[in-house]
Structure 1
Amino acid sequence: MPTVIDQAVQARLIASSPQTRSVPAQLRYRRADPFAVRIAFPAAASLDGAEVEWAFARELLAGGLLSPSGGGDVRVWPCGPERTVLEFHAPEGVAMVQIDTAELRGFLARSYALVPVGGEAGCLDVDGGVEALLRQL
């Protein structure tokens, strides 16, 4: 069984102008980090020309498919039956993208097959994490 799930998606970057543009993005879920999902955008999609990656709770993504979720740096909400908005807050500003809801549901289903809801704690290597921290001291 795999320990990492990667899925390419097309995100529609929502701009202040009426025009949106499509950018590739990469969703990632790792068994070693079972509470989080990650989404990465290529350098061409950022203002400073660097690749951007956001990590946030898998539960936040799942909740945002049904109703507005999040109150911090990442917020997620449904935008009609076919799209979901992900909103990212950083010191430089706010970015919003729309992603096909069916793609997000498929990604989450694959993550749940890898680590079921409620089984996340069993995937954490707490002893290994403590050892790594102690080695850094």
Structure 2
Amino acid sequence: MNRLRFPYKYLRRKNFRVMVKSDAAVLLDEDLFVPALTAFVYTSKDPYAVRMRVRIEGTRLPEWVFSRDVLITGSAEPTGVGEVRVRPVTWRDRSPVTALDTVLITVGAPGEQATVAVPATAVRDFLERTQEGVALGSEGHLLRLDGVIARFMR
């Protein structure tokens, strides 16, 4: 039997983990926010997923898990449906010269949503670092789905 081999040049590290922490804000209303700390976590053991952890004044909110693709797309254009939506925005200070590129991540069911504002530079840094270890499109090779499918086919 001739087996296809995964081109490991696309997988730079088998046991790969990235964590990027950043100051952020949880938006309570259009003009009201609470300072927060976010941590984005990515691991090659769950190569399609990103974990977002949020702390407000030492209190840890529930961890949210969503697609790395949603974060990639949402950092450039609005995306997502249901409980996870991501979109880029530029916050303008009172001066038209000052602007801060931000990624808004809204998580939760309607009526119980939280919107977290994270600097776009932190999101870009995180995504670049995830791709250093697991290239886009190579995630499926980490899950060893061939073996799982073969067992189901027996």
> Which TM bucket (shorter chain)?
0.7 to 0.9
Counterpart of 1:9?
22
Letter matched to residue 60 of structure 1: V
Q: Number of paired residues?
A: 127
Alpha-carbon RMSD: 2.4
Structure showing greater radius of gyration is: 2
Counterpart of 2:76?
66
Counterpart of 2:119?
100
Letter matched to residue 40 of structure 1: R
Residue pair 1:27, 1:40 contacting (<8 A) in 2 also: yes
1:29 corresponds to which of 27, 42, 48 = 42
Q: How big is the shift at 1:16? A: 2.1
Higher relative contact order (CA 8 A, sep 6+): 2
Using the size of structure 1 for normalisation, the TM-score is 0.81
- 3-state secondary structure, aligned to 1:90: coil
Unaligned segments of structure 2, at least 5 residues: 1-12, 91-99
As a proportion of its length, which structure holds more helix? 1
Sequence identity of aligned pairs in percent?
Answer: 25
- 3-state secondary structure, aligned to 2:108: strand
CA distance in 1, matches of 2:62, 2:56: 7
Unaligned segments of structure 1, at least 5 residues: 132-137
Q: How big is the shift at 1:3? A: 1.5
Structure-2 change in CA distance of 1:109 and 1:87 (3 Å): same
